[in-house]
Structure 1
């Protein structure tokens, strides 16, 4: 027997709203996490019959895609303002630099590619399983495992280089 769509949506909302909000807040530089999560649940409601079980990875993938759209839109707006005003865009620091007391980790984290940071963050910060993280990134579980291994290995290598004084200019 299939669950009532209203009940399924409410259960998904109750189970995943807070963790999706935290997921987006950690990644958003433009402060619209609540809007992104709301849009995620609009998509969920519209596609309730297409939402897989378990839905966690699917929800994170939808939220990530919506965040990307919001950030692209934000960047277009900033670029337009800069163009119209004739001023350069202001720099907003990377959240990784806020890691207190761990400058070696922050330096290494900042030297990772966006893809490497995202791969590690899905497991370390968002506590997604490899299967869920693979769903978010749109790849197989095996491909995600390889990406995670390589990203962790590179992060450890970069930490080792920064703590041993082997920095490059």
Structure 2
């Protein structure tokens, strides 16, 4: 009898410990209110307005379906970024990402007159950086954007892309070096015609 009496409470305690704190609806609302803007900005910096809205909605839809997997802070945002990254990959799968992204940033055919933001983006050195980013491998580009643009720590990036923090250290370092190499190639190619003209001048 004694083993039977003690086993019940132990099993009940185990079930209680495995139960997420709070109702699923409350946990989801808290994550949505706290991190919606960060997730939206994640998409907006990588795609257009409508796709950013759709991607953000899809991310939280997946989060709701996986509410039992929702971690506690401070792991919530990296977890959401991980979902957002996969949603974004699905959005890009049917596109030629390089051409579409460049057209959006430069504002081709979108407005009769360029906005001040578009004028700034059209600056040659900014375009060179965008071109250099497009030449990187997807994982190199992603860790650079997460590190330098989103301001994530290497631990957060590791949770987002699904690797260990020490691997992120190496990836970020290599990605920066590769970006610098691509920028040098682009700068060299863009100045070569001018050098040829100057060399051939009487």
Q: Give the TM-score range, shorter chain.
A: 0.7 to 0.9
* Bigger relative contact order, structure 1 or 2 (CA pairs below 8 A, ≥6 apart): 1
Alignment pair present for 1:146 and 2:170 = yes
Please state how far the C-alpha of 1:134 moved relative to its aligned partner: 1.4
In 1, the alpha carbon distance for the partners of 2:100 and 2:91 equals 16
**Greater Rg, structure 1 or structure 2?**
2
- Deviations along 1:83-108, one digit per CA (max 9) or x if unpaired, are xxxxxxxx435267666375335324
1:123 corresponds to which residue? 147
The question of whether the paired residues in 2 share the 8 Å contact of 1:61 and 1:137 is answered with yes
In 2, the alpha carbon distance for the partners of 1:12 and 1:93 equals 29
In 2, the alpha carbon distance for the partners of 1:138 and 1:20 equals 17
- Deviations along 1:54-108, one digit per CA (max 9) or x if unpaired, are 2111101101111211222x43xx9xxxxxxxxxxxx435267666375335324
RMSD of equivalent CA atoms: 2.8
Specify every segment of 5 or more residues in structure 1 that has no aligned partner in the other structure, as ranges.
79-90
Q: Would the alpha carbon gap of residues 154 and 70 (structure 1) be closer, same or farther in structure 2, given more than 3 Å must change?
A: closer
TM-score, normalized by length of structure 1? Answer: 0.74
Specify every segment of 5 or more residues in structure 2 that has no aligned partner in the other structure, as ranges.
1-16, 107-117, 193-202
1:167 corresponds to which residue? 189
Structure 1 segment 30-45 matched on structure 2, within 5 A:
31-45=50-64
**Number of corresponding residues:** 152
Match of 1:21 among 19, 40, 58: 40
Q: Would the alpha carbon gap of residues 146 and 109 (structure 1) be closer, same or farther in structure 2, given more than 3 Å must change?
A: farther
